[in-house]
């Protein structure tokens, strides 16, 4: 059986949002590897941080990650497991939920 390639940092981005865009910070950190032309995500941490909206959980208003051995969602200080379909699906859900939060404020 072939050995799994070593994880590399695939994406590490941080966007400081202007107040008219909701304020706060969007953070994307994704680890994995590329094998046979296909990207495999092994670890991820997606977060919307805004201390003005959420004073707990280090200001994390919304987040998705797979730390601690399971896929879960952070929202306003609460953490709940989520069904994992794919990283792309999780990314799209994060972006939709973040946008809905900003629109509601």
Q: Where are the domains of the chain?
A: 8-104
How high is the pLDDT of residue 69?
94
User: Does the pTM exceed 0.85?
Assistant: yes
Nearest to 70 by CA among 55, 61, 81, 59: 81
What is the residue-wise DSSP string for 13-40? EEEEPPGGGTSSEEEEEEEEEEETTEEE
- Per-residue pLDDT at 105 exceeds 80: no
The pLDDT-based confidence of 3 (bands split at 50, 70, 90) is confident
pLDDT tens-place string over residues 65-93: 999 999 999 999 999 999 999 999 999 99
Give the integer Cα–Cα distance in Å for 7 and 30.
Answer: 10
Contact between 43 and 11 under an 8 Å Cβ cutoff? The reply is no
pLDDT tens-place string over residues 17-76: 998 888 999 999 999 999 988 999 999 999 999 999 999 999 999 999 999 999 999 999
Helices (H), 7-79: none
Q: How far is CA 56 from CA 84, 94, 95, in A?
A: 25, 19, 21
């Amino acid at each position: 059986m072939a050995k799994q390639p070593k994880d590399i940092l695939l994406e590490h981005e941080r966007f400081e949002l202007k107040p008219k865009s909701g304020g706060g910070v969007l953070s994307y950190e994704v680890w994995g590897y590329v094998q046979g032309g296909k990207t495999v995500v092994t670890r991820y941490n997606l977060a919307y941080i805004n201390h003005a909206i959420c004073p707990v959980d280090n200001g994390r208003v919304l987040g998705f990650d797979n730390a601690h051995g399971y896929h879960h969602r952070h929202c306003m200080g609460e953490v709940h497991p989520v069904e994992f379909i794919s990283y792309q699906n999780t990314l799209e859900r994060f972006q939709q939920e973040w946008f809905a939060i900003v629109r509601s404020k």
